[in-house]
Structure formats: C-alpha cells, structure tokens
Amino acid sequence: MAKSKVLVVGGTGYVGRRIVKASLAQGHITYVLQRAEIGLDIDKLQMLLSFKQQGACLIEGSFSDHQSLVNAVKQVDVVICTISGVHFRSHNFLEQLKLVEAIKEAGNIKRFLPSEFGMDPARMGHALEPGRVTFDEKMIVRKAIEDAKIPFTYVSANCFAGYFVGNLSQIASLTPPKEKVCIYGDGNVKVVFMDEDDVATYTIKTIDDPRTLNKTLYLKPPENILSQRQIIDEWEKLKGKKLDKFNLSAEDLLASMKGMDYAGQVVVGHVYHIFYEGCLTNFEIREEGEEASDLYPEVQCTRMDAYLKRYL
C-alpha cells in the first residue's frame, strides 16, 4: 500500500519539527504549512527552508484564510496538527476548529491527528482550575472532529522528557538541580516519560495503521514507566553524588498557586494530577485505545537513563 501523504501544521514547533523529521524518515511525502503569521520570525523561516532541503514541500496557508487551508488539505491524505497548547509559550488549541472546518469541506482526509500529545483529556474531566482549560479545549476540538465524522487518531504521549526528566521534574528549571531536589509527595507515583523523538516516530507509525483508526494511541512503553524517585536515583548514580531531598505535600503544592501568574497555576495543576494523583498510570487501556509499544515493538524507545546522560 502506498504511504499516505502528510501535512504537518505547526511544523516549526517543539513537537512539529520532530513530526516532520519522522515523516520524512519513514518515507512519506511530507508537506509543511507555511503560515503568513510567522511574519519576521527568521528562525521559523529558516527551519521551514531546512525542511525543504531535507525533502519536505512547503505549502502556504493561514488560519485567517479558510480557502488556503482547504487548498492545502486537498494535497494530502493525512493532517497532523502540532500547534502549541503550552501556556508559558503560546496557547492556540481552538485555532484547530478552523482546520476541522477546512478538512470537512475538503472531504478527502483519511486521518486527522489533532494537537494532543499529553495527558488523555477524556480522562481529565475532574481536572483542577485553571489547568483544566487544556483538557476542556482539547475535548471541544475532539467533539468538532467527531461531529464532522472526520477519521482520527488521538496521541496521548504523557510527559515529554525535555520538560520532566532532565530537570528531575522540578517546576522552575529545565536542567538538573545541583544541591537540592523537591520530591512530590512520597515520590513513588508512577509516571510515563517519553523522548520527544520517539513520540514523533510512534505518531507517524500510526497514520496508515487501521488498528488505530478512530482510537487513542497511548505511548506507555513499560521501561519508561517510572517514579520521580527512580529518575532522581538514576541521576545520582550517573553523577556519583547524592542530592538533598525535601518532600512537598499535595496541600503545600496547591497552596503555592496563590500569587502565581496564570501559566504557573496551570503548570502546578498538571503537576498535581501527574505526580500525586497518578493520572498517567491509574487506568487500564480498553477498547477505545491501543498501546504504542505493543503495536510497534520494532521501535527502540530511548530509556530515561540514556536520556539523562545528555545532562552530564
């Protein structure tokens, strides 16, 4: 069977650029939407030109120009959207509703993968304010997709290692603490950590796979289901140095939201659900989903001990 042609929307972002790379690596004709909105952002433009050198096709389009989106969508079989939903960078999830309308009008798309790549929003109806906005908006987009009867796959990629492993899951930094580390609760709640390049590899694997049609793909390789304490222990082993540890109760974590800006409050709420509630691992995958490492055992996932070595 011929490989699907892919359009990546948000291709210059943290996830998007990895999706473009994985799509090309797996032999798909790959288009990247070049949005007029980039304006004078030279870094994004140069990244787009580098994609072109690697074999991708650039196609112009804008969320403010419906027909341009329809025209772009008509060139491909699969659309993958990776626009940002991170509050301390940009937050544009509902822009995808314009893309849904374009896909609906075009009528040719075999699979749409909206911008998800985190916790499964369908399991987060109880989430705390204000962080629940992330999940509520994802569910609004899902409803639009399903109401339009657009074939879909949702990718639940859990915790990106770049944000949660290199810093030993500390909120205020992206690099490992040198002396003291905060442990959430007892530090033993199991979490799923993923190398971002592996997220992209699995995502592209799924687009022509009938087993994932109209399902959620959960990225939960057993070797990457670890507690915060296990991550810290591995870092201490690599460094040959023990860190001073202090435990933060759920009550103290939530109390710390007072006085934080909006983006900080969103992050704290998500940390609570991940490290205290165990929302990434406290359920069984049922008929609504599939687990990526079961479907694609040929993918050699990056283990978190190897990931941590980058920070030595």
Q: Is 138 a catalytic residue?
A: yes
HEC sequence for the chain: CCCCCEEEECCCCCCHHHHHHHHHHCCCCEEEEEEHHHCCCHHHHHHHHHHHHHCCEEEEEECCEHHHHHHHHCCCCEEEECCCCCCCCCCCHHHHHHHHHHHHHHCCCCEEECCCCCCCHHHCCCCCCCCHHHHHHHHHHHHHHHHCCCCEEEEECCEEHHHHCCCCCCCCCCCCCCCEEEEECCCCCEEEEECHHHHHHHHHHHCCCHHHCCEEEECCCHHHEEEHHHHHHHHHHHHCCCCEEEEECHHHHHHCCCCCCHHHHHHHHHHHHHHHHCCCCCCCCCCCEEEHHHHCCCCCCCCHHHHHHHHC
Cα dihedral 161→275→263→248 (10° resolution): -120
Residue linked to tokens 């289901």: 225
Catalytic site residue from 104, 138, 205, 220: 138
Active site residues: 138
